[in-house]
């Protein structure tokens, strides 16, 4: 179990001897992207355990010092490379929970197509089970942003009267988050597996989550996202 930390220390100790090809030049966005792309390639073929700073540096055509100046540890580098799976900008606000989730799923399907991330990220999550630090940081930077968005969608639905006012939010977040992960895992990372999410599943859940006055998950009229609960969820 101690081989991984010792390997990382060895990498760091040898960093000064690495051929820093960009020495004396300002760090460029192109070099940074090359490093992240190389990290993803290595994660895809070698997994977390087989990914090394030396290997990434060689693939990206930079010295190890260039990597360590930006990412002090291999864990930092891996998380930076896979964090692009989290969508940027404001969460969708279509006027219904079903619409919000469909918009998020379509955005992710487009973003992940051809990136390899949808196959790499589940692999990193699985391997992180043996690395408490990686697992903790993975949950914080990759898992929780998605859970925060789903929680926001649900709380908006409750405020609109679309969903039951007594709904247990966190168990529903668990369920809605688990479905796309399962689809990605079972398709071996194919982002097109998200095409049926959430359309094929929300009708099944509807009897348990809809307010009695709602006809369907997307039937409520649009309401501004500026409600107090939505603001708290977005800022928190």
Instruction: Clarify whether residues 28 and 103 are in a common domain.
Output: no
Domain end call among 61, 82, 103: 82
68 or 9, which is more confident: 68
Instruction: Clarify whether residues 153 and 118 are in a common domain.
Output: yes
Model confidence at 222: pLDDT above 60: no
Instruction: Clarify whether residues 111 and 130 are in a common domain.
Output: yes
Domain enclosing residue 76, as ranges: 3-82
User: 65, 80, 78: which is closest to 14 by C-alpha?
Assistant: 65
Instruction: Clarify whether residues 76 and 97 are in a common domain.
Output: no
- The pLDDT-based confidence of 235 (bands split at 50, 70, 90) is very low
Percent of the chain at pLDDT exceeding 70? 78
Instruction: Clarify whether residues 207 and 124 are in a common domain.
Output: yes
- State the pLDDT at residue 214: 56
- Rounded CA separation 234/72 (Å): 30
Instruction: Clarify whether residues 13 and 90 are in a common domain.
Output: no
Number of domains within the chain? 2
How is residue 214 written in tokens?
């709602």
Instruction: Clarify whether residues 184 and 105 are in a common domain.
Output: yes
Average pLDDT over residues 7-16: 45
Model confidence at 17: pLDDT above 60: no
Average pLDDT over residues 72-81: 96
- State the pLDDT at residue 24: 44
Instruction: Clarify whether residues 23 and 113 are in a common domain.
Output: no
191 or 48, which is more confident: 48
105 or 223, which is more confident: 105
- State the pLDDT at residue 37: 94
Model confidence at 236: pLDDT above 60: no
Instruction: Clarify whether residues 101 and 186 are in a common domain.
Output: yes
- The pLDDT-based confidence of 22 (bands split at 50, 70, 90) is very low
Domain end call among 82, 108, 142: 82
- The pLDDT-based confidence of 65 (bands split at 50, 70, 90) is very high
Instruction: Clarify whether residues 40 and 55 are in a common domain.
Output: yes
Instruction: Clarify whether residues 8 and 22 are in a common domain.
Output: yes
| pLDDT tens for each residue of 135-147 | 999 999 999 999 9
Residues 25-60 as b/e (b if ≥16 CB within 10 A, e otherwise) read: eeeeeebbebbbbbbbbbbeeeebeebbbebbbbeb
* The dihedral formed by the CA atoms of 39, 141, 186 and 154, expressed in degrees to the nearest 10: -150
Average pLDDT over residues 154-183: 95
């Amino acid at each position: 179990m101690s081989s991984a930390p010792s390997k990382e220390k060895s990498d760091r100790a040898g960093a000064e001897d690495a051929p820093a090809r960009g020495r004396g030049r300002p760090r460029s966005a192109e070099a940074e992207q090359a490093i992240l792309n190389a990290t993803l390639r290595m994660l895809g073929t070698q997994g977390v355990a087989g990914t090394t700073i030396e290997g990434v540096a060689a693939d990206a055509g930079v010295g190890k010092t260039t990597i360590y100046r930006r990412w002090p540890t291999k864990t930092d580098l891996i998380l930076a490379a896979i964090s692009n799976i989290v969508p940027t900008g404001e969460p969708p606000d279509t006027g219904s929970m079903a619409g919000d989730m469909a918009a998020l799923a379509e955005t992710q399907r487009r973003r992940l197509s051809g990136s390899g991330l949808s196959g790499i990220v589940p692999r990193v999550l699985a391997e992180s089970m043996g690395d408490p630090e990686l697992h903790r940081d993975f949950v914080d930077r990759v898992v929780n942003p998605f859970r925060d968005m789903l929680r926001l969608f649900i709380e908006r639905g409750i405020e609109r009267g679309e969903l039951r006012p007594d709904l247990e939010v966190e168990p529903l977040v668990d369920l809605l988050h688990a479905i796309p992960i399962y689809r990605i895992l079972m398709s071996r990372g194919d982002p097109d597996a998200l095409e049926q999410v959430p359309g094929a599943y929300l009708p099944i859940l509807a009897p348990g989550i809809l307010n009695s006055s709602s006809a369907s998950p997307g039937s409520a009229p649009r309401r501004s996202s500026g409600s107090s609960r939505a603001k708290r969820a977005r800022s928190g």
